[in-house]
């Protein structure tokens, strides 16, 4: 770009490129600001969801401890190892300012206890119910964590593009525009002086011929 010939056509082209670069920077800055607001909202929701998950998990574990007291560690382990309730998830996506974020939800119905109730404990049943209820919270936390990660990466990428425009491309365009304008102005002054000399010479010839 430093070798661009100093012509009016190139000057107009560079001015248009400069205008587009400045408009692009403004658009990217607005996008970054909106994404920053979204990121703060997601972080707030994530912190709250993690707290709810931790609280619910501790409650579920308390019932496991009570079941262990009543049934013994070995029996609780045998029962839990015999449980085969596979859980699958559906992952969909949505766009926030061009950033694709996940939506996670349970696929199908929540698992039901598949062990015999004879010789077990009500606390084990309650623990199973509480752990089953955790699935929705796990989906929510996974969804929020994925969204925070993607939005944060998008903000970093947008900021890099803003910096490139602000500190590299826009100053370069401005310098080139200024250089070409200066060169064209010098050429105009030189042409003006030359034309003035030519005019003066023609006037002298006319005066001599007269």
With beta carbons less than 8 A apart as the criterion, state whether 53 and 117 touch. no
Instruction: Write out the E strands in 35-112.
Output: 88-96, 99-107
Say what the pLDDT of residue 174 is. 93
Radius of gyration of the chain (CA): 36
Say what the pLDDT of residue 120 is. 72
Say what the pLDDT of residue 35 is. 96
Say what the pLDDT of residue 32 is. 96
Please give the average pLDDT of every successive group of 10 residues along the chain, which has 210 residues. Answer: 79 93 96 96 96 94 87 79 76 92 85 64 83 90 96 97 95 92 87 80 71
């Amino acid at each position: 770009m430093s070798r661009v010939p100093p012509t009016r056509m190139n000057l107009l082209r560079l001015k248009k490129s400069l205008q587009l670069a400045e408009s692009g920077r403004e658009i990217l800055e607005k996008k970054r600001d909106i994404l920053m607001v979204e990121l703060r909202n997601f972080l707030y929701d994530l912190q709250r969801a993690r707290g709810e998950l931790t609280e619910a998990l501790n409650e579920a574990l308390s019932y496991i401890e009570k079941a262990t007291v009543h049934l013994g560690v070995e029996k609780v382990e045998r029962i839990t190892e015999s449980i085969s309730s596979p859980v699958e998830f559906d992952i969909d996506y949505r766009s926030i300012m061009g950033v694709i974020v996940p939506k996670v939800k349970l696929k199908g119905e929540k698992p039901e206890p598949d062990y015999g109730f004879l010789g077990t404990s009500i606390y084990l049943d309650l623990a199973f119910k509480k752990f089953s209820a955790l699935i929705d919270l796990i989906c929510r936390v996974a969804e929020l964590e994925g969204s925070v990660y993607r939005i944060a990466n998008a903000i970093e990428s947008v900021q890099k593009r803003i910096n490139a425009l602000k500190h590299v491309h826009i100053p370069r365009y401005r310098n080139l525009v200024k250089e070409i304008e200066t060169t064209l102005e010098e050429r105009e002054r030189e042409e003006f002086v030359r034309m003035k000399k030519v005019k003066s010479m023609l006037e002298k010839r006319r005066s001599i011929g007269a």
